[in-house]
Structure 1
Amino acid sequence: MKIEALRTILFKVWSLESSSKWTPDNPAKGQCGVTALVVHDLLLGEIFKTETEGSWHFYNVINGTIFDFTASQFTSPITYLNIPSNREEAFQDTNCAQYTYLKEHVLTLLNEEESPFEENCY
């Protein structure tokens, strides 16, 4: 699987449609919950959370490795507490319209790429 291909696609797709906190200077801002959900859809694994700047920050753990596609939104390093979370909690950080937008646009770009994921990732 090519994680960097997914990271590139996420940076292309993130917008005000996927988070009301998005800015051109900080595209990952506010994208953690919705991104954790879409990454979980594609790669499975688990959703975890940690506290950052007074709120929950969601990320994925796949085969014991942390994948935090939205870490760049923060100016300070993240201390990962690895608190188990779930889809329901991550969804509280987003809404149906944002989730649907991000998932549909990520899948569209994935289909345009030259098979960036192994078949068993779906």
Structure 2
Amino acid sequence: MLFFEGENIQNILFKSWSIESSSKWTIKNPAKGQCGVTALVINDLYGGEILKTDLEDGWHFYNEINGKRYDFTESQFLSSFEYMDVPSNREEAFADTNDKQYNYLKKRVNEKITNK
């Protein structure tokens, strides 16, 4: 798992997601709809590649860093699936979000990282 000053980045994301970062967010499923925006913010922080898998509801985005797959939003799914690891990019991931959601999540994550 990836860490910032001892805190798991997954926990930072969980505390940062809201209706402001995805219109599909709910209290019961905070990762819902967060895949594109999260893949972008993680790419900003750690670099690596953005990958995608075609699912029933459309493309699901996640990251590959130093040869390892990281899917920080996999908890949104009720069942597991087989990853396709199709190469993607920032433009495709951004099509899954918008400026407002991206800027909100990036700001929230950065605040939580710098306020440690």
- Assess same fold via TM > 0.5: yes
Q: Stretches of 4+ moved more than 4 A in 1?
A: none
Unaligned runs of 5+ in 2: none
Structure 1 unpaired stretches of 5+:
114-122
Partner of residue 53, structure 2: 50
Counterpart pick for 1:89 among 87, 92, 99 = 92
Aligned length: 113
Is 1:21–1:29's contact at 8 Å kept on the other side of the alignment? yes
For the Cα contact (< 8 Å) 1:28–1:70, is it kept in 2? yes
Kept in 2, the 8 Å contact 1:71–1:78? The answer is: no
Cα distance between partner residues in 1 of 2:15 and 2:64 = 22
Deviates more, 1:73-82 or 1:40-49: 73-82
Higher strand share: 2
Counterpart in 1 of 2:42? 39
Is 1:2 the counterpart of 2:3 in the alignment?
Answer: yes
Give the structure 2 partner of residue 74 of structure 1: 77
Percentage of matched positions with identical amino acids: 60
Q: Distance in 1 between matches of 2:9 and 2:70?
A: 11
Cα deviation code 1:42-75 (max 9, x no counterpart): 0000000001223100000001100000000001
Following superposition, the deviation at residue 99 of structure 1 comes to 0.1
Q: CA RMSD in A?
A: 1.2
